């Protein structure tokens, strides 16, 4: 067991080093060109260069933004540096979503915690308005000390969530088995920083300490170069030129090994293992994926 722990620590250190290289090398979009600030009354800021965006939360309000474009399939990268210190009660959400009661959605949510305690990375996938597919993780680094890259690869075969290039979760297209998969609704990119102390930290037991406000999360390095603009069920994938290998990309042997390592060492909740919640039987994708 001690030997396994050494291996796990070495793997984590190697992935942190790789992650910092990924963050340093990532292409950087322009937030003025790519996004609109949608709420917050001045609490969201984009400096004149457009290379950085910050969201802030105080007792009066949080803040948020949305992409100018909609996407129908793509690989989307964003670098985030999360709220430092006592972030208990706060949630930094970064996700893709369409609109309406039958919307599709692909979620990263970062649940804050007391100083020194780890963030919880919460992931979910909604199809046709139905979610309840939560998987949660701790991270192998402190996400408040530096920028790290959080990526969503969404193609007709699967959705892969990655952190610094390391896959942590895959949701496969199992439509042939009767499981809905998001493939026809174009989605915007959204992000927000808001107060959720009724549930975010230890089920709502730990409340937001407003003496620590304002809370601030920072963004840079947005990259949608491998993504297709979409609307009304159509996608630019069919007409655009360039490398489209990501459209058929899946996890290779190394990716499968890494996702198993993350889920063994850092997953803290998996809906497919929650027998109390699904006492009448797990959702079908749990036994098929």
Q: What pLDDT digit, counting tens, does each position of 128-148 carry?
A: 999 999 999 999 999 999 999
Q: Which CATH class for the 28-287 domain? A: mainly beta
Residues 171-215: pLDDT tens digits? 999 999 999 999 999 999 999 999 999 998 988 899 999 999 999
DSSP code for 114: S
pLDDT confidence of residue 10? 56
* Catalytic residue positions, numbered: 105, 109
Give the HSE-up count for residue 282: Cα atoms under 13 Å, Cβ half-sphere.
14
Determine the 3-state secondary structure of 152 from DSSP. Answer: strand
Spell out the domain ranges in the chain.
28-287
* DSSP string for 194-251: EE-TTTTTGGGTSPP-GGGPPEEEEEEEEEEEEEEEEETTEEGGGT--S--GGGG---
Measured distance CA(208)–CA(264) in Å, rounded:
31
Q: What percent of the chain has pLDDT over 90?
A: 80
Asked whether the beta carbons of 162 and 121 are under 8 A apart, the reply is: no
| DSSP string over 38-94 | EESTT-SB--TTSS-EEEEE-SS--EEEEEEEEEEEEEEEEEEEPPPS--TTEEEEE
Q: Report whether pLDDT(107) > 70.
A: yes
pLDDT at 235: 72
Whether the per-residue pLDDT at 24 is higher than 50: the answer is no
Token pair of 14 as six digits: 């190697």
Report the pLDDT averaged over residues 164-173.
97
pLDDT(246) > 70: yes
Tens-place pLDDT, residues 113-122: 998 899 999 9
Q: Which two tokens stand for residue 256?
A: 């499968």
Does the predicted model carry a pTM greater than 0.85? yes
> What are 179's two structure tokens?
């499981």
Residues in the chain, overall count: 289
Q: Compute the radius of gyration of the chain from its Cα atoms.
A: 19
* 32-79 per-position pLDDT tens digit: 999 999 999 999 999 989 999 999 999 999 999 999 999 999 999 999
How far apart are alpha carbons 186 and 105 in whole angstroms? 10
- pLDDT for position 3: 39
Q: 33 or 8: whose pLDDT is higher?
A: 33
Q: What is the structure's pLDDT at 1?
A: 47
């Amino acid at each position: 067991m001690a030997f396994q722990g050494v291996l796990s620590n070495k793997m984590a250190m190697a992935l942190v080093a790789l992650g910092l290289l990924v963050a340093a090398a990532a292409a950087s979009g322009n937030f003025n060109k790519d996004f609109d600030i949608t709420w917050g009354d001045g609490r969201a800021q984009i400096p004149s260069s457009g290379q950085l965006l910050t969201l802030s939360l105080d007792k009066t309000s949080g803040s948020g933004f949305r992409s100018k474009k909609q996407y129908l399939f793509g690989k989307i990268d964003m670098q985030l540096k999360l709220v430092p210190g006592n972030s208990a009660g706060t949630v930094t959400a970064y996700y893709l979503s369409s609109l309406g009661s039958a919307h599709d959605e692909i979620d990263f949510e970062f649940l804050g915690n007391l100083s020194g305690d780890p963030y919880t990375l919460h992931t979910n996938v909604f199809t046709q308005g139905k979610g309840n597919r939560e998987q949660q993780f701790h991270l192998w680094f402190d996400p408040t000390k530096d920028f790290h890259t959080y990526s969503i690869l969404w193609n007709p075969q699967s959705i892969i969530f990655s952190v610094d290039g390391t896959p942590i979760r895959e949701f496969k297209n199992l439509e042939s088995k009767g499981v809905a998969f998001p493939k026809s609704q174009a989605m915007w990119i959204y992000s927000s920083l808001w107060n959720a102390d009724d549930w975010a930290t230890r089920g709502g037991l730990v409340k937001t300490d407003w003496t620590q406000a304002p809370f601030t999360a920072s963004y840079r390095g947005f990259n949608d170069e491998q993504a297709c603009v979409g609307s009304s069920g159509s996608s630019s994938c069919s007409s655009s030129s360039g490398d489209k290998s990501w459209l058929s990309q899946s996890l290779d042997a190394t990716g499968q090994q890494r996702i198993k390592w993350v889920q063994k060492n850092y997953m803290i909740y998996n809906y497919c293992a929650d027998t109390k919640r699904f006492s009448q039987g797990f959702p079908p994708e749990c036994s098929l994926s």
